[in-house]
Amino acid sequence: MKELNKILHQPIRTQIMAHLINTQECDYTGLKNALNLSDGHMSTHMRELINNNYVEAKKEFINNKPKTTYIPTPEGKKHFQAYINTLKEIISLT
């Protein structure tokens, strides 16, 4: 049996990646609110996804206010699809 991706096999990171892949991009507040996450959860899990090149963070200022937008990388999309395929394989074995 294939081993599950340790980065994605964490419920919050799975939800973040699924949301970002479905929306193509999402800002910090939108993602936090959509998944009902605390600031602590957001920073911890986004750091892990960014450091492993699953997500890119685009930072800019709009009307003198900082805005961070998250975008899934091509590598992140590839890893997420492979993770979903592994889950499907596991489910089909039962």
Q: Per residue in 3-15, pLDDT tens?
A: 899 999 999 999 9
94: pLDDT strictly greater than 90? no
- Residue 65: what are its φ and ψ, rounded to 5°? -115, 135
49: pLDDT strictly greater than 70? yes
Tell me how far apart the terminal alpha carbons of the chain are, to the nearest angstrom: 12
User: What amino acid is encoded at 55 in this protein?
Assistant: V
Give the containing element (helix H, strand E) for 34: helix 28-35
Instruction: Classify residue 10 by its DSSP letter.
Output: S
Identify the structural domains of the chain with CATH numbers, from first to last. Answer: 11-87 (1.10.10.10)
